A and B are shown apart, each in its own frame.
Chain A
Amino acid sequence: MIFNSLDFAIFLPIVFLLYWFVTNKNLWMQNFLIVISSYIFYGWWDWRFLSLMLFSTVLDYACGVALGRNEDKRTRNLILGISLFCNLGLLMFFKYFNFFLDSFEGAFSLFGQEIELGTLNIILPVGISFYTFQTLSYTIDVYRRDLKPTSDFMAFTAYVTFFPQLVAGPIERATHLLPQFYKHRVFDYNKSVDGLRQILWGLFKKVVIADNCAEFANIIFNNSGDYSGSTLVLGAIFFTFQIYGDFSGYSDIAIGTSRLFGFDLMQNFAFPYFSRDIAEFWRRWHISLSTWFRDYLYIPLGGSKGGTWMKVRNTFIIFLVSGFWHGANWTFIAWGALNAIYFLPLLLANKNRQNLGIVAQGRILPSFREFFGILTTFMLTVLAWIFFRADSIGHAFNYIGAIFTNQLFSAPYIVEAESGLHILPKMVILLIILFVFIEWTGREGRYAIEKTFINQPKFFRWGFYYFISMIIFLYGGKSQDFIYFQF
C-alpha cells in the first residue's frame, strides 16, 4: 500500500478510529492493532514476504533475550554473529546476489575468460534494507548494553513492523522508538494536528514535486543522447528535486502518520539543499541512515580518532557502503565515492563541522557567502545525482560529457511523447520555485509548513492548507513509485 493511494486514504482512518476508540484503553491491544495493521499494509504489496519480516522479528527478539541471559563474551559474540549473519545474509541474497554474479562474470571476462553463471529470478522484498537495519540496531544496542532486551514480544513486533516507517524509514533506533511502545498512548490534539499538517506537506512534496519532476527527468535520462547540454542540466535538476520530494515527502508522511498514533519519529531531512557545504548536506540528508552508519560502522572502525589516514579510510568506507546500501549497481557505488571525494577537502582541512546551525537564522536572505556556499553545494549534489539516476557508469559519463559538449547555452526543451512537440514544462518549474520558497521560509522548523501562518488568524492558516490541498489535486503528477522502496 502506498501513501498516495486511495487504498491508504481508506486504510488510515479505519486504523486511526479503531486505535483511539476500540483499543485505546489497553496498551497490549494498541500494539496488537499496530502489528495487524502493519501486516495488512505490507501484505498489500506481496503477502509472501510477510514470513521474511516475521522471521527477522523472531530472530532478533530471540537474540535479544539470549543476550540478556548471557554474560559470557564469547557466547554474546556468537549471538550477535548469528543476528548479523542472518539479517545481512537475507539482505545480501535478495538484494545483491545477482549483482555479485554479474560482477564475477564481468571480472572473468576482463581476463579473456567467458563464464556463464546465469542469474536467479529474485524479487526484492519492499523495504528490506530498512527493517533489516532497524532490527539490527536493536540487537547491536542490546549487545553493547545500551538497551535492555525486551521481554514484550508484541511491543517488539510493533517496533519492527510499525507501518508508517516500515518500508522507507526513517530507520528508527530501538533506543528511541521501542520504549514508546511500552507506554500507553493518549490522544493529543496538538500532536495530531501537527501530524496531519506534516502529512499534507509530504503529499505536496511527493505528488506535486517528485511525480511531476519524475515525468520529465525520465524522458530526459532515457533519451539523453538526443538532448542538448542545457536540457540535460534541466534533467539533472529535475531528478534532484524528484529524489528529494520523493524521499523526504515519504518521511514527512511517515512522521506525520506516526504522530496521529502518538509516536515521535526522528527527523530524516533538514532542508539539505540549503546546505553550505557537503558535510552539512550529509548531516541534513537521510539523517537516520547517516547516523546509523556513523554509530554502527564509522565509530566502531575508529572514527576520526586514528589520525588522518584512518579518517580518510573510514570516510571512504562509510560513503561506499552507503552507496552500496542504495542498490546493487556500480552507479550507486560511484555516487558514494564521488560524495566521499567532495567530503575529503573539508575533512582534511578540519572544516567539516563549521556549518552546524540553520542557514541565515533570523534573517530573510542569506549572506553572499552563504548563498555562494549553497549554490556550490547544490551544483555538486546535482552532479552526483546523475550517477545515482543513470542506468550505468557509462551512461552517467556520457550524460555529463554531453552536458559540456552539446549546446550547453541553448534554450532547453523536452520532446513530448504523445505529440512530438518541443516543450518547456514551465508550470513544473514554477511549482519548484514555489516549493523552494516555502521550504526556505520554513527552514527553521522541523518541516517547512510547521509554523506557516501559525500565529495568524485561523482563516489564513486553513486557507493556506486548502491552497496546498488544491495544488495537490490540480497539479499532482502521474503517480510514480517511491524511489526508496527499491532500496
Chain B
Amino acid sequence: MKRFLFQTLIFILVVLASFAFIASRIDGCADPHYLKFTSPKQKGLILGTSRAAQGLIPSIIKEKTGHHLYNYAFTVVHSPFGPVYYNSTVKKVDPTTKNGLFIVTIDPWSISADRKNPEDANNFREKNLCLANTPEVAMNPNFYYLFNNNSFGKYAKPFLVKDNSVCLDPDGRLEVSLDLGDSAAIASRVKQKEVHYRANMLPTNSFSNLRYEYLLKTIVHLKKYGKVYLVRIPIHPLIMQIEQELMPDFNLRIRKAVETADGYLDLTSLNEVLSYTDGNHLDNISSKKVSEKVGEWISSIQ
C-alpha cells in the first residue's frame, strides 16, 4: 500500500507541477477570460458585456477620475445581468472598499433573455459558462477555471501559436488589434453583424424582468462600496435600430436603475461619429475617446 500511495503521489505531483507551469504561461492572449479570475479582488469595477470589455479602458478613466478600475465585463452570452453575474461580481469586490468607483454599462441585450422563458434563471445561457463554474474569482492559478473551462488546445496555445490579435490587458480590458481592413471591409462586417442580430437575436430575445431585478440588485450592492454610474456605450446606427425594435422603451424601463445609481450617461448620441470593428464594438481609437468622455463626465459630477 505504501508503495502504491508513494508512486501515485509522485506521479500526480509531477503532472500537477507540469500543469501549474503551463497555467503560469497562460497570458491574456491565450484566453480572453482567464486572467479576470486570477487578478485580485478589486476596489473599482467596470461591468457589462463585450462592448464594455473592449470599449472602456480603465487606465484612461483613472487619468480623469483618479480611481483605480478593473474591467470585469465579459460578453453578452457570459455576463448579462442575472444571478450568475451578480454572484461573481459580489465575490470580485474587495470587501474593505470605501469610496470605490463602479461603472455599470447597460443596453437592451443585457436585460433580455430567451423569449420562450425570460424569467427562468435555469434557462439562462450563462449558467453553464465560466462565470458560473468558477466559484473563486481571485485565485492564481485558478484551478477551478482551468478544470471547468478546458476548451480545446487552450493550454497548448501559449506554446504552439502566439496570436496577439485579441489580448486581455492586465487591467481586464480586452484589446482587439486585428487588421480591420479598409472601410469596405468594415462596412461588410457591420452588415454581417446586423444580419446576425436581425436573424438570430431579435426574434429570440425579449425583456427579462428577472435580469432587470438583478441589475438593480447589482447597483444596490455596489453602492455599499462607493459610487455607481450607469453608462450606455455607443454602437453603430444599424445595430441601434435593431435595439430600438427590441426595446423601444428602453430608457423608460431602466428608470428605476437610473434613479438608484449615482448618474447615467447615455452616449448613443455619438453613434454616428465613432468607428467600430463590427458595428457592435468600438475600435481602439473610439474606445479611447469614449473612455475619456466617461472619465471626464464622472469627474465633473463627483
Chain A interface (Cβ within 8 Å of chain B)?
5-6, 20, 187, 189, 192-193, 196, 207, 212, 215, 420, 425, 427-428, 462, 465-466, 469-470, 473-479
Q: Residue B90 at the A interface, CB < 8 A?
A: no
Which residues on B sit within 8 Å (CB–CB) of A475?
A: 152-153, 156
Q: Is the CB of A474 within 8 A of B4?
A: no
A to B CB contacts below 8 Å, 9 in the list: A6-B147, A193-B7, A207-B150, A212-B152, A428-B152, A473-B22, A475-B156, A476-B150, A478-B149
**A477 is contacted by which of B7, B147, B150 (Cβ under 8 Å)?**
B150
CA distance A207 to B19 in the complex (A): 16
- In residues 120-152 of chain B, which contact A (Cβ within 8 Å)? 143-144, 147-152
Q: Is the CB of A192 within 8 A of B4?
A: yes
Residue of B nearest to A21 (CB): B1
4 cross-chain pairs, A with B, having the tightest CB-CB distances, nearest first: A474-B156, A476-B150, A469-B15, A478-B151
Nearest chain A CB to B182's CB is how many angstroms away? 19
Q: Is the CB of A420 within 8 A of B4?
A: no
Which residues on B sit within 8 Å (CB–CB) of A469?
A: 15
**B152 is contacted by which of A192, A196, A462, A477 (Cβ under 8 Å)?**
A477
Which residues on A sit within 8 Å (CB–CB) of B147?
A: 5-6
Which residues on B sit within 8 Å (CB–CB) of A196?
A: 8
Nearest chain A CB to B21's CB is how many angstroms away? 11
Residue of A nearest to B147 (CB): A6
Q: Residue B14 at the A interface, CB < 8 A?
A: yes
Q: Is the CB of A465 within 8 A of B11?
A: yes
CA distance A192 to B147 in the complex (A): 25
Nearest chain A CB to B107's CB is how many angstroms away? 20
Q: Residue B99 at the A interface, CB < 8 A?
A: no
Q: A473-B155, A478-B150 are in contact. List 20 more A-B contacts (CB 8 A).
A: A6-B148, A187-B1, A187-B4, A212-B152, A215-B152, A427-B152, A428-B152, A466-B15, A466-B18, A470-B15, A473-B18, A473-B150, A474-B153, A474-B155, A474-B156, A475-B152, A476-B150, A476-B152, A478-B151, A479-B148
Nearest chain B CB to A124's CB is how many angstroms away? 16
Which residues on A sit within 8 Å (CB–CB) of B153?
A: 427, 474-475
Nearest chain B CB to A241's CB is how many angstroms away? 14
Which residues on B sit within 8 Å (CB–CB) of A428?
A: 152
Q: Residue B192 at the A interface, CB < 8 A?
A: yes
Q: Residue B162 at the A interface, CB < 8 A?
A: no
Which residues on A sit within 8 Å (CB–CB) of B148?
A: 6, 479
CA distance A379 to B15 in the complex (A): 38
Nearest chain A CB to B20's CB is how many angstroms away? 11
Q: Residue B3 at the A interface, CB < 8 A?
A: yes
Residue of B nearest to A212 (CB): B152
Q: Is the CB of B151 within 8 A of A477?
A: yes
Beta-carbon contacts of B11-44 to A below 8 Å, as 1s and 0s?
Answer: 1001100110010000000000000000000000
Residue of B nearest to A208 (CB): B152
Residue of A nearest to B156 (CB): A474
CA distance A196 to B22 in the complex (A): 24
**B192 is contacted by which of A207, A420, A427 (Cβ under 8 Å)?**
A420
Nearest chain B CB to A422's CB is how many angstroms away? 14
Residue of B nearest to A193 (CB): B4
Which residues on B sit within 8 Å (CB–CB) of A420?
A: 192
CA distance A193 to B152 in the complex (A): 29
Residue of B nearest to A476 (CB): B150
Which residues on A sit within 8 Å (CB–CB) of B18?
A: 466, 470, 473
CA distance A350 to B15 in the complex (A): 52
CA distance A479 to B129 in the complex (A): 11
Residue of B nearest to A192 (CB): B4
CA distance A474 to B19 in the complex (A): 9
Which residues on B sit within 8 Å (CB–CB) of A476?
A: 150, 152
CA distance A193 to B6 in the complex (A): 12
